[in-house]
Chain A
Amino acid sequence: MFVLIVGAGRVGSAVARSALASGHQVSVLDEDPLSHERLDAGLDTTWEEAGGRFTVGHGIEIEALLEAGIEQADLFIASTDGDNTNLLISQIAQKKFQIANVIARVMDPARAEWYAEQGLRTISPTKVAIEMFEHAVSEV
């Protein structure tokens, strides 16, 4: 499977490494060239030597998406630090490139829920944290 991950922060880079370790083709797009170091971290070789791809660019620029291989992607993950960027680029992946599997990180639980109802798979770390806290509170 070809996985395209936009946003190589803590979440994006960790998911990229584990997807590569599972034998998938992985391409990462991030506007910060330094985020490449986060991909290398914990690997014996560089990210590219391990078989990964890395492109510098912003996810709303079509040239950057094409260079990162969006046309071949089987799975698209939007994991930048901006909810609005993630919600937009994941809809670009769905509506323009017809990628069947699209997942967006959305910190705002309300919008994560609404966009999920519209057919976009969203993951809300905030919502997960709230549920864990609520569970912890109920146990005290």
Chain B
Amino acid sequence: MYVIIAGAGKVGWNLARELIGKGHEVTLLDNRRDRYLTIEQELEHAVQYGDATELWVLERAGIQRAELVVAVTGDDEDNMLICQVAKEKYLCDRVIARVNNPRNRQWFELLGVSPVVSATDLILRLIEHEVPSYGLVHLLDLRDEKLEIIEIEVDRGSIAAGQAVKDITIPEGALIISVLRGGDGFVPKADTVIEGGDEVLLVLDPGLEESITKVFAGPDGLRP
């Protein structure tokens, strides 16, 4: 596969090295001359000097035949526009962009650039999962499919505790897919009784977190 990587920071350089190691053809682009000179000693012709937001730089790198464009500069505007041009002007089907500031994620979506990778979001997700004081954990977000999978602890004082699955009223667009109890996970049936202390996994449409929380969290809401 031929891959163009824009931005030769730590992410871009290591990505280029890994992809080359896996046998892919890579061109890495960076507009910082000192950075280019350093990396050129290792990657030689696989790195080119130039501003990847400029069309001639992308064309010199052979964007017309690129099968994947990865934009991982430290600048969100650059990453968005590189991917937009790669998709819309050069008809490259596959682009991946790095989001530096999670608040800019909406603009990547607005320009039709996806998927995006945000280190901040990934670390936040890990914190949610690793720090047990969070009651609701996002396990998986399928943005394009508009689905997410969450895990939530069932409070003993919640509406759901002590009720059979079929009797628990959950919002349209949500489904209980698994129950974790005492270290074991199982798929619940309609008459399975949910107990306080269980952890339940749900698949749901985005935006339903709050109404789900009302069903499984205690009267005081989630623990802080």
A88, A95, A118 pick with most chain B CB within 10 angstroms: A88
Q: Are B110 and A83 in contact (CB under 8 A)?
A: no
Complex contacts, A83 vs chain B, CB 8 Å: 53
Contact of A111 among B55, B76, B106 (CB under 8 A): B55
Contact of A96 among B53, B55, B78, B110 (CB under 8 A): B110
CB distance from B79 to the nearest CB of A (A): 9
CB distance from B55 to the nearest CB of A (A): 5
Task: Compute how far the CA of A108 lies from the CA of B52 in the bound complex, rounded to whole angstroms.
Answer: 13
CB nearest to B76 among chain A residues: A60
* Interface: A110 (CB within 8 A): yes
CB distance from A117 to the nearest CB of B (A): 9
Q: Are B110 and A85 in contact (CB under 8 A)?
A: no
CB distance from A94 to the nearest CB of B (A): 10
The interface residues of chain B, by DSSP majority, are classed as helix
Q: Are B55 and A84 in contact (CB under 8 A)?
A: no
Task: Compute how far the CA of A82 lies from the CA of B78 in the bound complex, rounded to whole angstroms.
Answer: 10
* Interface: B81 (CB within 8 A): yes
Q: Are A88 and B80 in contact (CB under 8 A)?
A: yes
Complex contacts, A91 vs chain B, CB 8 Å: 110-111
Known: A92-B107, A96-B110, A114-B89. Is A60-B54 also a contact (CB below 8 A)? no
Q: Are B77 and A88 in contact (CB under 8 A)?
A: yes
Complex contacts, B106 vs chain A, CB 8 Å: 62
Q: Would you give the 0/1 interface string for B63-88, flagging 1 where the beta carbon is closer than 8 Å to chain A?
A: 00000000000011110110001001
Q: Are A114 and B110 in contact (CB under 8 A)?
A: no
Complex contacts, B76 vs chain A, CB 8 Å: 60
Task: Compute how far the CA of A42 lies from the CA of B75 in the bound complex, rounded to whole angstroms.
Answer: 36
Q: Are B56 and A110 in contact (CB under 8 A)?
A: yes
CB nearest to A88 among chain B residues: B77
Contact of B88 among A62, A108, A118 (CB under 8 A): A118
Q: Are A87 and B81 in contact (CB under 8 A)?
A: yes
Q: Are B107 and A110 in contact (CB under 8 A)?
A: no
Q: Are A61 and B81 in contact (CB under 8 A)?
A: no
Complex contacts, B146 vs chain A, CB 8 Å: none
Q: Are A60 and B55 in contact (CB under 8 A)?
A: no
Q: Would you give the 0/1 interface string for B99-129, flagging 1 where the beta carbon is closer than 8 Å to chain A?
A: 0000110110011000000000000000000
Known: A91-B111, A108-B54, A114-B55. Is A60-B77 also a contact (CB below 8 A)? yes
Known: A84-B75, A110-B55. Is A61-B103 also a contact (CB below 8 A)? yes
Q: Would you give the 0/1 interface string for A105-130, flagging 1 where the beta carbon is closer than 8 Å to chain B?
A: 00010110010001000000000000
CB nearest to A61 among chain B residues: B103
Q: Supply 16 A–B pairs (Cβ within 8 Å), ascending by A.
A: A60-B104, A61-B103, A84-B75, A84-B77, A84-B81, A87-B77, A88-B77, A88-B107, A88-B111, A92-B107, A108-B54, A110-B54, A110-B55, A110-B56, A111-B53, A111-B55
